[in-house]
Amino acid sequence: MTYRSIYNNDELLARLRRIRHVALDMDGTIYMGQSLFSWTKPFLEGLKKAGIGYSFLTNNPSKSIADYLSKLHKMGIEATRDEMYTTALAAIDYIKTHLPEARKLFLLGTPSMISEFETAGFVSAADSPEDRPDVIVAAFDMTLNYDRLCRAAWWVSQGVPYIATNPDRVCPTDQPTVLVDCGSICACLEHATGRRPDITLGKPDPNMLTGILTRHGLQPDQIAMVGDRIYTDVEMAHNAGAMGVLVLSGETTIAIADQAERQPHLIAENIATLGELLQQAHRG
């Protein structure tokens, strides 16, 4: 199977002809671990030639944009800040839109992530009962400190607005360990306080794509969300009214895809197949 769609061929090409931007999951879609797929560079070059923009999306907020750009650079991809969108940026955009008076944040996150919020103009609340934050942000914190976890629980119990950057319970790894992710940290806080986050961003929440749509002035049917997971990437596309493209170069097999309640609009072997279809559609 090279590709499969819920549309017939003419409908698929018509839908692809509307695409002006491609949102790309990273691990399993453009690379695997530390290895760039051979078809990634030609795919990106093809998008540029067709006048189609693209962004790289990740649910992992533990690294700053600069860190992600450095990783892509080492793989041979020259990307810009405007082409990266993490759940840290989604949280920043959400706070600025929905809580515009907020300035002081209590952040459960890595120093790299915290630097992203400070660059955006926010300040970090001290670990003190006297320094009440405007918002609590819980994230994938690999530097988690027990005292800060307890302070976060205190502010959560006091009704401070509370945002989670992503729902992931664990972060994928090929090492013999379990990387406890944001969803599990929030479960700990819920068990201690009885309160869940007011909103959980990251895939499959549509706010991840809403931020990109707003940045580029796009309508939902002008963006394709491409990734290797049904329950995050494709589900977010459905939630945002965008086109959901599943690639089989990562986690999901066709057998798993067949069992999904909401089917991808397109299933492709990899992004090279999508690139060929986009070129065909835009030539038409």
Using the predicted structure, report yes or no on whether residue 210 has a pLDDT greater than 90.
no
How confident is residue 255, by pLDDT bands cut at 50, 70 and 90? very high
Residue linked to tokens 């977010």: 236
Amino acid 33: pLDDT:
80
- For 182, phi then psi, to 5°, come to -55, -45
Q: Read off the pLDDT of each residue in 267-276 and give the average, rounded to a whole number.
A: 97
Amino acid 251: pLDDT:
84
Amino acid 174: pLDDT:
67
Average pLDDT, the chain: 94
C-alpha–C-alpha distance, residues 186 and 183, integer Å: 5
DSSP letters along 144-209, please? Answer: --HHHHHHHHHHHHTT--EEES---SEE--SSSS-EE-HHHHHHHHHHHHS---SEE-STTSTHHH
Using the predicted structure, report yes or no on whether residue 1 has a pLDDT greater than 70.
no
Q: What is the CA radius of gyration of the chain?
A: 19
**Comparing 214 with 39, which gets the higher pLDDT?**
39
Q: Would you call 1 exposed, middle or buried from its count of C-beta atoms within 10 A (0-12, 13-18, 19+)? A: exposed
Handedness of CA 96, 98, 102, 108 (dihedral sign): negative
Using the predicted structure, report yes or no on whether residue 211 has a pLDDT greater than 90.
no
C-alpha–C-alpha distance, residues 162 and 226, integer Å: 29
C-alpha–C-alpha distance, residues 136 and 95, integer Å: 11
Q: Read off the pLDDT of each residue in 33-46 and give the average, rounded to a whole number.
A: 93
Q: Read off the pLDDT of each residue in 73-90 and give the average, rounded to a whole number.
A: 94
| Helix, strand, coil content of the chain in percent (nearest 5) | 40, 20, 40
Using the predicted structure, report yes or no on whether residue 175 has a pLDDT greater than 90.
no
